[in-house]
Amino acid sequence: MRVLVVEDNLQVSRQLADALKRGGYVLDVAADGEEGEFLGQNESYDAVILDLGLPKCEGLKVLQRWRQEGRNMPILILTARDTWREKVMGLRAGADDYLAKPFEVEEVVARVEALIRRASGHASSVLTWGAVTLDTSSQRVTLHGNSVELTALEFRTLSYFLHHPNAILSKTQLTEHIYNQDFDLDSNVIEVLINRLRKKLGPSFISTHRGKGYQLTDIDSET
């Protein structure tokens, strides 16, 4: 899952980045409203953490412009402005949640996790597909009730699939949402990850759509 953090306070930004990376998220960080607005307009994010008191462009204006342009990613407002009027303005402008400073980073991560779940139609922190379950809170994966050990990349890949259970996901989509660094999109790294998940979760768990990408299938189905 890829998250954008728009925060001008360097210490706060680092705290959020460290906590989100530990939670398995891919991060982009912007230190002012102009940069944040540009990233939100031109990149695909599963969620955004947006401060209101930003230099160059107020967070509220950034939020309003994103929504006017049809950008519908979940947005958590994080700000020192803890009045009910500010909350109402932010929510009416299109924010999905609101958290005032000071805060606990664990709460921010939990709220981001909940926003992403809800955006993909999941109410519970436990995502299920066939005999596979993934707990987004504990980062535990099971197959037929037995724990499955996954690498960080494998977990992020599986999590993205389970958050988009009916979609055909292209290599580009997967790359953008599970990797922090740029790399050659023509490489076979995604194919390798998919094959590793098939070995651990079942050969028919993920199907290939040639020229399009990959999609979850019934784990007990035959290919």
- Residue 187 has a pLDDT of 62
Higher-pLDDT residue of 173 and 84 is 173
Tell me the DSSP string of the chain: -EEEEE-S-HHHHHHHHHHHHHTT-EEEEESSHHHHHHHHHHS--SEEEE-SS-SSS-HHHHHHHHHHTT----EEEEES---HHHHHHHHHTT-SEEEESS--HHHHHHHHHHHHHHHTT--SSEEEETTEEEETTTTEEEETTEEE---HHHHHHHHHHHHSTTPPBPHHHHHHHH-SS---TTSSHHHHHHHHHHHHH-TTSEEEETTTEEEE--TTS--
pLDDT at 125 over 60: yes
Mean pLDDT of 183-212: 87
Cα separation, 25 vs 177, whole angstroms: 8
- Residue 78 has a pLDDT of 87
Domain with CATH 3.40.50.2300 in the chain: 2-119
- Assess contact for 171 and 190: CB atoms under 8 A: yes
The CATH code that applies to domain 126-216 is: 1.10.10.10
| pTM given for the model | 0.84
pLDDT at 223 over 50: no
Q: Tell me: domain 2-119, CATH 3.40.50.12160, correct?
A: no
The lowest-confidence range among 82-91, 111-120, 172-181, 184-193 is 184-193
* Average pLDDT score over the chain: 90
pLDDT at 222 over 50: no
pLDDT at 170 over 90: yes
Higher-pLDDT residue of 5 and 90 is 5
- Residue 88 has a pLDDT of 86
* Chain segment 15-32, per-residue pLDDT in tens: 999 999 988 899 999 999
pLDDT at 218 over 80: no
Higher-pLDDT residue of 55 and 86 is 55
Domain with CATH 1.10.10.10 in the chain: 126-216
Mean pLDDT of 141-160: 94
**What percent of the chain stands above pLDDT 70?**
93
- Residue 98 has a pLDDT of 92
